[in-house]
A and B are shown apart, each in its own frame.
Chain A
Amino acid sequence: MNKIRMQLMLCGGTGCDSTGSERVREALLQEIQKQDLAGEVEIVVTGCNGFCAVGPVMVVQPEGIFYQKIKPEDAAELVEEHFLKGRPLKRLFYKEPGSKDIIPKMDDIPFFSSQMFRTMRNKGLIDPEVIDEYIARDGYFAVAKALTEMTPDGIVDEMLASGLRGRGGAGFPAGMKWKFAKQAQGDVKYVLCNADEGDPGAFMDRSILESDPHAVLEGMIIAAKAINAHKGYIYCRSEYPLAVKRLDIAISQAKAYGLLGEDILGSGFDFDIEVYQGAGAFVCGEETALMRSIEGKRGMPRPRPPFPAHKGLWEKPTILNNVETLANVPQIILKGGEWYASVGTETSKGTKVFALSGDVNNIGLVEIPMGTSLRTLVYDIGGGVPKKRKFKAVQLGGPSGGCVPEDYLDTPIDYEAIAKVGAIMGSGGAIVMDNRTCMVDMARYFMDFIQDESCGKCTPCREGTKQMLTILENICKGKGRPGDIERLQELAHVVGRSSLCGLGQTASNPVLSTLRYFREEYEAHIEQKECPAKICPDLVHFEVVPDLCKRCGLCFKDCPSDAITWKKKEVAVIDKDKCIKCMSCYDRCKFDAIL
């Protein structure tokens, strides 16, 4: 038998999968067999590599060569040139958008070089469906250490020393939560993992589950040992079928290896994990609602206290942690809390994963040390805003968060610093918006989401968000009235203070933060009946500016409703009665001649 000399780490994450990585795999396999390289070159389908923007991507190990935008047609040349003759294929290398530099190695690409991989240390390096590959990267060593060498107090102390704060949004110190649950009286306790990932612009947890599911299981086992629980549940969104599948595989493999189930590693400790699929309700990400949902009921929150650490699932002491929080635990146990805390700021330790998307060049999954500035995130890693447009704001924390404009981009990523500028760290959704985004419309979008997802149990949230939505809708339709801004502010305060759970308590953040930084946009909508970003359909009327029109006819070709008349070498004209305001022409015009 030959020895494998090359591994092709082909990304099989959702992004690359949808750009065709499976077809690339088939084509590569065929070529490898054709060239008789099957014994030497191996294809490994990994979880999300992170750099979804240029997918499908593949990293060739051990060299670390990074290929982007691979097509099935490239397979023959790639296999022959690189894997047979040893000449890496330049035309599939990464090209830096600004300087046009060609960068062959993954580690040298700016998108990766400013990052620090801890939570995602295995991303793109292992096949998530093979437990041995995880074990080969020190997997389950932390469980062995926690179960055989450490006391529950020792585990909690290590967690406290790490300073790790909950990555699900609220940022509560994980060690404290574990300590309370450990002290709580009761023979039956539970460890839950929150994989509901409700922020509608975020996919970090999904990627972690898909690319490194064992890390989460390991974190849960360690948590169970710390509080003496024997049963755990992972509450996973039903929209994530691949994550559920990988978790099921991981659980059965761990059981087969004696790493889960009875008498784990001969330590006498029992712990079992079950995956529970949610059924599509944002509020179920809230801890008490999530527990009701596992009990098979309508997922409605209840007042706290009592806190879940005392009365949680089926009224038993319970800890609930987010996927990313738990995925950090094994390394903290293995390398020590102090090691973990060596990176970060005074109050925010370690690294944070962000799902960077929107109007930014390098869309993808990013892990950076706490304390990194938002500017580094958007410009150095994200590569800035595409199409030569201008940056307007970055939205953090989704429907519970807020936006940060240009002037505050030097804010470090730190729970307190971000809160100070009116946003929240959130779970890691970071959406970049360019100058063609209407901030009133964004506030309306999030309010629509919240209003739709409000469970209806408490009045301030149910009715208050509805009122706020109506006001915002009216403003966007040009029916805003003087005093609307003040009414929004007043409602925001009432809803924020009197709602039962975090959903209502934070629902007004997107409104308040857009009001704080973009009040003039609200005023333009209300007073001049204008949408400066030209997004709100009722407030825009499309017209061709003759002086700017280059007579190319692109707008004419794209118009779905025959509202544009154009002949060769003539300026296009838009018929306002036929125009359905679909924006096609506006988006299409390269000369900004349509206003």
Chain B
Amino acid sequence: MKTNTHPHHPDITGEMWTRMDEIIANGKGQPGSLITVLRECQEVVGYLPSELLSHISHGLVLPTSQVFGVATFYSFFSLTPKGRHIVRVCTGTACYVKGIKEAMGRIDTTFDLKEGETTEDRRFTLEGVRCLGACGLAPVMVVDKDIYGDVTSNKVINILEKYE
């Protein structure tokens, strides 16, 4: 296994490749391991570039189509790079009823950023998630690891300004 060469990729360091080779070796031959391998590799790199997906398909001896098929099916996986700060707005029912849509509108007018997108300067990635289980604080937004409740359209920009 060690002999296989790694494709060159600007976002993946040699150390990352080593860690991922271990992950892939653990999953090899295990039925059903693909999703776990993808998850763990995404944790290492931050996203799943297509070169990496091809590498995983070689390593696990699975058809490339299956690996791409799975990676694109689940919303957890991203094939494009993310911003420095991940902004997750809750689009669950309670947060919707309490006005998350208006807050998202403000994010869009201020940062030109819609759900699923990353700002050009890679400052923010905006993700919609469904119910964070904190409906008591609705509408809810999570920036990196910080949870904010009662995120109305007039508060949301102030919160985001804090993240550079």
Task: Give the interface of A toward B (CB within 8 A).
Answer: 14-15, 17-19, 52-53, 55, 197-203, 206-207, 238-240, 277-282, 293-299, 314, 355, 357-359, 363-364, 395, 398, 429, 431, 433, 437, 442, 445, 449, 455, 558, 560-561, 580-584, 587-588
Contact = CB atoms under 8 A, between A and B. Distances in A.
Interface string B94-117: 101111001001100100000000
A201 B70 contact: no
A493 B149 CA distance: 39
Interface string B128-164: 0111111111101000000101001110010000000
Interface stretch (B6-14, B16-24, B26-34, B118-126): B26-34
Nearest to A13: B133
Nearest to A295: B32
Given A445-B93, A582-B102, A583-B102, A314 B135 contact: no
B82 interface: no
Contacts, number: 145
B46 interface: no
Interface of B: 31-36, 38-39, 66, 69-70, 73-77, 91-94, 96-99, 102, 105-106, 109, 129-138, 140, 147, 149, 152-154, 157
Contact of A280 (B69, B75, B153): B75
A246 to B, nearest CB: 13
A540 B112 CA distance: 23
Contacts of A357: 93-94, 135-136, 138
A581 B134 CA distance: 27
B106 A359 contact: no
B136 A279 contact: no
B31 A314 contact: yes
23 contacts: A14-B134, A18-B134, A52-B134, A52-B136, A201-B135, A203-B135, A238-B39, A277-B39, A279-B38, A294-B32, A296-B36, A299-B74, A357-B94, A437-B97, A445-B96, A560-B106, A560-B153, A560-B154, A560-B157, A582-B102, A582-B109, A582-B153, A584-B152
A197 B66 CA distance: 26
A358 B137 contact: no
B93 A281 contact: no
A84 B39 CA distance: 50
B136 A587 contact: no
A281 B34 contact: no
Nearest to B137: A18
Given A437-B97, A580-B109, A203 B133 contact: yes
A197 to B, nearest CB: 8
Nearest to B66: A297
A556 to B, nearest CB: 12
A18 B157 contact: no
Contact of A52 (B76, B93, B130, B135): B135
Given A15-B134, A203-B133, A280-B75, A297 B109 contact: no
Contact of A279 (B74, B132, B147): B74
Given A18-B147, A560-B153, A580-B109, A429 B136 contact: no
Given A277-B35, A357-B93, A558-B154, 9 more contacts: A15-B136, A17-B147, A18-B147, A199-B93, A200-B93, A202-B131, A207-B133, A433-B97, A580-B109
